[in-house]
Amino acid sequence: MPANQFTASFRRVTRSAGVAIALALVSQTGAANPSEKAAELANAVCAACHGNNGLSISDTIPNLAGQRATYLENQLRALRDGSRKSGVMNAIATQIPEAELRGLAAHYAAMPGAQVGSGRSTPLATLAGSKMAFPSDYREKFQHYLTMNFPATRQVRKFFASPSLLENIAAGQTPAEGAAVLVEVYAAQLDDKRQPVMGTDGFFQAEKLLFYTGMAVGKGWGESIPAMLRNGDWQYAVFGQDRSPRQGFSQGECLACHKPLESTHYLFTQKSLAETRAKRL
Ligand code: HEC
Ligand code: HEC
């Protein structure tokens, strides 16, 4: 091989080797040094459910600590593009900037994984509990606007809206302070085959009140909620049969799943709310 040809191919080899080395370095630094921005995001948002140390707050949320970085990154991409479905994580993943994906994966991969008996993390203080108080006069003041059967859980739910929410929706306004929805969750009455008994109205016969869920708007109530989870000034709540707030409750999952519904004021049942108002007029 003539000398000049040899040098040319040698240069090509070294150049591509150089690129490969540079890429390897990038990926190594990416994995070894989670960026500060990724850590901030993790502590402000992800910690709400996955815990500060990557150990989650509940049995329905996975631990991330000590997991392989590539696995975490791939899951985040799948949750972002929707090929992996999750009512809670899809909305969050679509908001993660591309630049932080690998950093977040590296952040959790670098943490010690769970040990037997590690237990659960406590929810973020800003999402623990709720500012929504139980609307004790809802039976007199609120409007019953919707009933839904839930065959999988053998439940039937009854939805009640505050008069001001119905007015806001009818006027096309953003729900303002005082707007609220309260949902009664009942176990359905079961027949001999343990199937729900259907009432003449097409809904399961309600047998026993199990608990209530609710959402309400208050002035500035959204300010303490991380932007990625914030639903305007709505806050969410769960109340027991005795109407007291559920202990250890965190709003994270409620906010995350309702978050994509910005165009309907974070309400899944806006259509029914609008129709209810129309009927009353
Ligand atoms: C509101 C609660 C909540 C928040 C906040 C949250 N997650 Fe999740 N995350 C979940 C749930 C629930 C799942 C399980 C999803 C499913 O059902 O597939 C999950 C799954 C994941 C997974 C897949 C784990 C696995 O084992 O496959 C990754 C990765 C992840 N989350 C990363 C993040 C990151 C990074 C953030 C912050 C930007 C974040 N999550 C914020 C609730 C949350
Ligand atoms: C995985 C998604 C998801 C999560 C998590 C979730 N919701 Fe919802 N929510 C829905 C859907 C869907 C509806 C519409 C009615 C139905 O199908 O249950 C709804 C309806 C509601 C309504 C009636 C007003 C409306 O938006 O139409 C209230 C109140 C409510 N949810 C409260 C909560 C509370 C409190 C939590 C947390 C404990 C929560 N939700 C968590 C999906 C979710």
CATH code of the domain containing 57: 1.10.760.10
- 93 and 173 co-located in one domain: no
CATH code of the domain containing 230: 3.50.70.20
Q: Which atom of ligand 1 is nearest to the CA of 63?
A: 26
Which listed ligand is nearest to 74 at the C-alpha? 1
Q: Where are the beta strands (DSSP E) in the chain?
A: 143-150, 155-161, 180-188, 206-217, 234-240
Structural domain span for residue 246: 138-280
Q: Whose CA is nearest to atom 3 of ligand 2?
A: 257
- 151 and 41 co-located in one domain: no
Give, for all 281 residues of the chain, the pLDDT tens digit. 444 444 444 444 444 444 443 443 444 444 445 688 999 999 999 999 999 999 999 999 999 999 999 999 999 999 999 999 999 999 999 999 999 999 999 999 999 988 888 889 988 888 999 999 999 999 999 999 999 999 999 999 999 999 999 999 999 999 999 999 999 999 999 999 999 999 999 999 999 999 999 999 999 999 999 999 999 999 999 999 999 999 989 999 999 999 999 999 999 999 999 999 655 54
Residues 61/50, Cβ–Cβ less than 8 Å: yes
Q: Please, is 156 exposed, middle or buried when counting C-beta atoms within 10 Å of its C-beta (0-12, 13-18, 19+)?
A: buried
Which residues form ligand 1's pocket by a CB distance below 6 Å?
A: 41, 45-46, 48-50, 60-62, 64, 72, 75-76, 86, 88-89, 92, 96, 104, 252-253, 256
The amino acid at residue 261 is L
Residue 132 lies in a domain: no
